[in-house]
Amino acid sequence: MKPFYTFAYVICQSVSRVIFHVSVKGREHIPKSGPFIAASNHTSFTDPPLIGSLLKREIAFFAKEELFHKVILKDLIKKLNSFPVKRGESNVSSVKICIRILLDQKMPLLIFPEGTRIKTGQLGTPERGISFIAAQTKVPILPIYVENGERLLECALFQRRLKVRFGEAIQYDDYASLVKEKKGYTELAQLIMSKIQALKGES
């Protein structure tokens, strides 16, 4: 890990454990080496640092483009391997960056299949972008479920429990047949969300 990333990693890990009392299951499923897509539901802006602090590896992630217009914040999130994406638009350059991160840098990439935060505790409809990236890179997809990420104050006050669940990775051989044609991208996105949904049931 880079020095600044290591510093942020230790801080986020300490905060999640000491202040928010995070409960973690399934860490044995996290690949110890090589690139993979970390696919999680999205409940809060704190999801990237929370998940990153549990992986024990540097990870890259999307952030909405507006954050990169704030001078201090822009420099900070860039050091944490974040890159901008315009929500609601096809962003070819962002996809190319994803592929470069996974194949050239061999770094895990965090993607939220729903494409936006959902604060109701329910899971949303996945977008097909994650399937396109998976088809191009052929990397494992690690399903992750975060519970009560949108209720951190209640977690800090012991009123709720912040939970993170990691599932068994979906290997390329498991989804190769789905991405032979573009119509299968929707099916793969739905498969990923079903794996995340299954982790919700384990919470």
Domains of the chain: 3-202 (3.40.1130.10)
**What confidence tier does 116 reach under pLDDT thresholds 50, 70, 90?**
confident
DSSP conformational letter for 68? G
In a 13 Å sphere around the CA of 194, the CA atoms on its Cβ side amount to: 7
| Residue 140 to residue 126: CA distance in whole angstroms | 18
End-to-end CA distance of the chain: 31
Give the residue ranges of DSSP H helices in 42-182: 47-55, 71-79, 92-103, 129-137, 152-156, 172-175
**Quick one: pLDDT at residue 192?**
97
Please report which helix (H) or strand (E) contains residue 39, including its range: strand 37-40
User: Given a cut of 90, is residue 106 above it in pLDDT?
Assistant: yes
User: Given a cut of 90, is residue 199 above it in pLDDT?
Assistant: yes
The structure's pTM equals 0.90
The Cβ of residue 134 has, within 10 Å, a number of other Cβ atoms equal to: 28
